[in-house]
Structure formats: structure tokens, C-alpha cells
Amino acid sequence: MIQENFIKLYEHSFRENWDLPCYTDYGEEESYTYGQVAQEIARLHLLFKHCQLRRGDKIAIIGKNNARWCIAYMATVTYGGIVVPILQDFNPNDVHHIVNHSESVFFFTSDTIWDHLEEEKLTGLRGVFSLSDFRCLYQRDGETIQRFLKHLDNEMEKTYPKGFHKENVLYTDLSNDKVMLLNYTSGTTGFSKGVMLTGNNLAGNVTFGIRTGLLKKGDKVLSFLPLAHAYGCAFDFLTATAVGTHVTLLGKAPSPKILMKAFEEVKPNLIITVPLVIEKIYKNVIQPIINKKTMKWALSIPLLDGQIYGQIRKKLVDALGGRFKEVIIGGAAMNPEVEEFFHRIKFPFTIGYGMTECAPLISYASWNEFAPTSSGRVLDIMEARVYKENPEDKLGEIQVRGENVMAGYYKNPEATKEVFTEDGWLRTGDLGTIDENNNVYIRGRSKTMILSSSGQNIFPEEIEARLNNLPFVLESLVVERNKRLIALVYADYEALDSLGLNQPENLKTIMDENLKNLNSSVATYEKVSQIQLYPTEFEKTPKRSIKRYLYNTITEE
């Protein structure tokens, strides 16, 4: 299936949606129509031209979600450059490494991040620009960027003497097989690789979003997942901009309190999220309702439960703005108890599956066709298979190929060779099964799976999901020590304080009880021998998955 040309999708959209609202920074005055975005892109193109940037030159971007982040990205790809989005959670050393490794020549950054970087370590950069107003923060000796920017208005008038209009939107002709994006992954296993994504990979995701009607002209979305991450980028930003959707960019950490207020104000038509966000909302909004004694009693009566579930569903839908078609959850495994409850109340949600190497989508099904406990159906532009070392095994590695699969890792032929099979399939590193309807079921990562002494496969994520639903557990991590399972737990100290229970003896009693309840609900070989309290939140990737590799060497108390 030949995808539409990725760059021409946007040339068409800016012309078609000229007067519609395009990007708005949440809680700030900054707002752009599609026409104004096209004009800002034209201004940046004049700058790129002045500096004689060539097709294929790399331009890096780092900062919180905001309108100028989106404009810098769009200006880069529509000029024929390669965009290098960097997650703002990366530490300065990682940022230095990515900018240098990618050979970026221009760099758009938030002022606060720039303050923590050392320009002498960024050897190849010719210019650095602020994401708050596009002013030049740094230029290499001999560059005339600052002088050019002072006269940019005159340059625009000279280039477009009759003013800048929709017919002036003309972007480069670049075939879809060219690399347009370098996405540096930050996996749970520890190091960063530059995923080379082509126009075809990106168009595969965007045209899928268009064909399935995920977003339409005039719809609204709230973009709160980091745009430098493939998942939020593909749908909240790239698909949205291709169809004429109004994107409101939340440049703050998405705590439930901030999100609820933003959902209420924006009233999005589609919600793209990761499990952690939705699980926190479940814990804060739903659990207090269903844990009331009278509610527990009412839910045990068959005729009442349907009505009550209807009320709870309405409360949840209203809390998320009340206008959305569905909530798409991806990026990590969903807590089974939360998922089961959402099915029971008929909440319109679905779970998709993907990875940065597929820009990101591998499988998805709309909420009314979604098979419970699956991760959706393999896309029609993708193929998936389950590879088993031993035919007797129940599970195997999910391997994929198709339109969305990357061109390889940048300047890393060894890693590229390792991630593809001899016959050209991409190894996902995820273990699972695929049913006759092409629904994908993921059990866990092959790298995190623990083999018990009796030869059983243990998936720590499944035990953690149960433990996280027990009282006063905020998050947990199950690790193997001397052939025994230990659970590291970061407790909900705020809740303990509010009830006056934050004393060591109370904590011990609570965790002993949790351990007993946990072990009564898991298989014999999955029993945890000890809960060990951890003093701080676990470090996470931008997808909000715990960086497991950091905790594999923690010793027992």
C-alpha cells in the first residue's frame, strides 16, 4: 500500500484549513490559526535558506509541549530537513550526546534547558533558537543569524510582495522513502538509539488515523504526552495537523488535578494517554465512590448494579470533558483490575500497541470492536507473527514487518542487525500470542521475564499490577534476589499522613497484610517472599514506565 506523501499532507492541510484554529498553548494567550502557522513556517524557511541548510540536515528540538515546538518540527520536515525531537526529561549529558551523535546543525530549545547545557560540548551546532520566541540564543562564529533575524520582516515582504497567502504554501518534493525523523528512544533497559523513521513510516500512522476517522476537521485534542515521544506525536500532533484539528498543548506535568481542569475546559474529541494517567484518575475519582459501604451493598444487587455503573461511567466521561469518541491507551501495560472495571461499566476505551521503531503503531481496534485483555488488532498495513524457540512453548516473541517499520538505527549497524531477523522481521522484545482474528495479547517483556526454579515463566509486571491495587501502594517493582521474589514498594505517604498512620509499626502491619493478600491471589511460583519499602518514586522513562535496569542490583535488607 503506497502511503500519501507525508510532506504534501501538510501542504494540503495548511491551505485547506487556513482560517481554522491550529495550535493553542494551554493557559496562555499564544494561539495560531493554520494560516498563521504556515506563515511562521515560511519565516523559518527563509532563515534556513539564508543559512544554506541542505535537504537532510538535522534540526534538534527539546522543550515542553508548545505551539512553537510544533512549528519548528513542521518547518524542518516541510523544508526537507530531518527533525530530531529530544525528550525534555533527558539529562544534559544525554542531550549533548544526541545533538552531537545526530550531527544536528540547528537546535530549538526552551530557555531553561539551554541554561543547563554547555555550548562548548555541542560542537556541530551553527545556531540555537528559543522556543519561547524563536530568538537566536547562540550562533557559531561567522554566522549572520542574529543580523538576518532583525530584518526577517523585510525579507518576508521582499519574498511575498503581495502578502503571504494560502497559494504561497509550497513545500519541498521529497519522496516518502527518505528518512525524515530521528527519534532517540529511552528504553527501560538503559541506552539511547536513534530510530530512523521515513516519510512512509510517519504517513502510515497518520493516514491510518485519517482513514479510521480518529480525528476530523474542527475536532479538538489536548496534547499532554511529550511530543518528542512517537505515540503522542503521531496522533495528538501529526494526525491532528493533517486533518484540521485544533490542538491545545499542555506544557505542564499531567497530574490528575491539572488534567481534569484542562479536560473540562478543552472538551477534547479524542484522548490519547498512557495507563499511568488513567489509573491515577481511576484511583482518585472512581475508587473512593465504589469503596463506600452503601455502594458496595448496592453493587451486590443485580438490578441496581447496571444503573450504578451507568452513573459511574457518566461521572468518568464528564470528568474527561464529556465530548470524546474514545480514550486510546498505549505505551505500557494496563492494570488488569482497572481494565476489567472499565469494561464492566462500558467505558469507551481501547488499548493499542506499538513501539518507537514503528512510529509507533502496530495494533489497534476501536473501543466497540476491542477484545478485552488484548492490545488491539494488527493494522492492515502491518503483519505480525509469534516466534517460538521451542514449538512446545505457549508464548513467543511478537515480530512485525510492514509500512510502519523503521529504516534502522542511525550510525549503529550492529544494533540494527540485532533487532531484525534473517528474514527481515522486526523483533519487538515482547512476549505474547496472536489469535485467529489477529488480536495481539502481550504478556511481558522478554528481558524482564523471570524463570522460576520450577521452570515457570514469571512476568513481574503482572504481580506488580495486583500489588499496586492494594492499600497505600503507589507503585511497586518485583525483582529476583537469590531465587526469591522481592517487591520494592513506594508507599502512598500522603494518604498515610492524612489518616495519621505514617509510623513504622503501622506501615509494617499494612504491608504484611498486603503481602498476605497478594500471595493469596497469585500462583504458587509467583509468591513474593518480602515487601521492601523504597524511599522515593522509581525513576521512569518519558512513557512513564519504570527504568527497571536501575533497580536490578538493589540488595535485600
Residues 71 and 155 in one domain: yes
Residues 477 and 418 in one domain: no
Residues 282 and 381 in one domain: yes
Counting residues of the chain whose pLDDT is more than 90, the rounded percentage is 73
Residue 27 forms part of a structural domain: no
Residues 281 and 155 in one domain: no
Among residues 423, 445, 467, which one ends one of the domains? Answer: 445
Residues 414 and 365 in one domain: yes
Residues 231 and 289 in one domain: no
Asked whether residue 328 carries a pLDDT value surpassing 80, the answer given is yes
What is the per-residue pLDDT for 188?
41
What is the per-residue pLDDT for 121?
95
What is the per-residue pLDDT for 117?
97
Estimate the crossing angle of helix 460-467 against helix 336-344, to 10 degrees.
Answer: 60
Asked whether residue 553 carries a pLDDT value surpassing 80, the answer given is no
CA angle, 287 then 290 then 292, to 5° = 110
Give 516's contacts (C-beta < 8 A, 6+ positions apart): none
Number of domain units in the chain: 3
pLDDT digits (tens, 9 = 90+) for 454-464: 667 788 888 99
The structure's pTM equals 0.86
Residues 467 and 356 in one domain: no
Residue 357 forms part of a structural domain: yes
Asked whether residue 365 carries a pLDDT value surpassing 70, the answer given is yes
Give 111's contacts (C-beta < 8 A, 6+ positions apart): 130, 131, 132, 137
Residue 207 forms part of a structural domain: no
- Averaged confidence pLDDT in the chain: 92
Determine the average pLDDT of the residues in 155-183.
97
Q: What is the CATH number of the domain that holds 47?
A: 3.40.50.980
What is the per-residue pLDDT for 94?
87
Round to whole Å and give the CA distance between 186 and 76: 23
Residues 404 and 488 in one domain: no
What is the per-residue pLDDT for 555?
53
pLDDT digits (tens, 9 = 90+) for 406-456: 999 999 999 999 999 999 999 999 999 999 999 999 988 777 878 776 667
- Name the residue among 71, 149, 137, 60 with its Cα closest to residue 106: 60
Residue 208 forms part of a structural domain: no
Round to whole Å and give the CA distance between 466 and 485: 15
pLDDT digits (tens, 9 = 90+) for 288-318: 888 888 888 888 888 888 888 999 999 999 9
546: confidence class by pLDDT, cuts 50, 70, 90? confident
Q: What is the CATH number of the domain that holds 519?
A: 3.30.300.30
What is the per-residue pLDDT for 285?
83
Among residues 187, 219, 235, which one ends one of the domains? Answer: 235
Distances (CA, A) of 190 to 88, 94, 490, 499, 550: 17, 12, 21, 38, 8
Residue 2 forms part of a structural domain: no
Residue 538 forms part of a structural domain: yes
pLDDT digits (tens, 9 = 90+) for 484-535: 899 999 999 988 998 898 888 999 999 999 999 999 988 888 899 999 999 9
pLDDT digits (tens, 9 = 90+) for 179-235: 999 999 764 444 579 999 999 999 999 999 999 999 999 999 999 999 999 999 999
Q: What is the CATH number of the domain that holds 386?
A: 3.40.50.12780
Among residues 183, 209, 235, which one ends one of the domains? Answer: 235
Which residues of 332-482 form beta strands (DSSP E)? Answer: 349-351, 353-354, 361-363, 382-387, 396-402, 408-409, 426-434, 440-445, 450-451, 457-458, 473-481
Residues 342 and 439 in one domain: yes
What is the per-residue pLDDT for 544?
73
Which residues of 199-319 form beta strands (DSSP E)? Answer: 220-223, 246-249, 271-273
What is the per-residue pLDDT for 458?
83
Residue 263 forms part of a structural domain: no
Residues 185 and 317 in one domain: no
For residues 264 and 321, the answer to whether their CB atoms sit within 8 Å is yes
Determine the average pLDDT of the residues in 141-156.
96
Range(s) of the domain holding residue 89? 37-200+227-235
CB neighbourhood size of 310 (10 A): 12
Residues 58 and 148 in one domain: yes
Residues 463 and 529 in one domain: yes
Residue 255 forms part of a structural domain: no
Q: Which residue has the cell 554547555?
A: 118
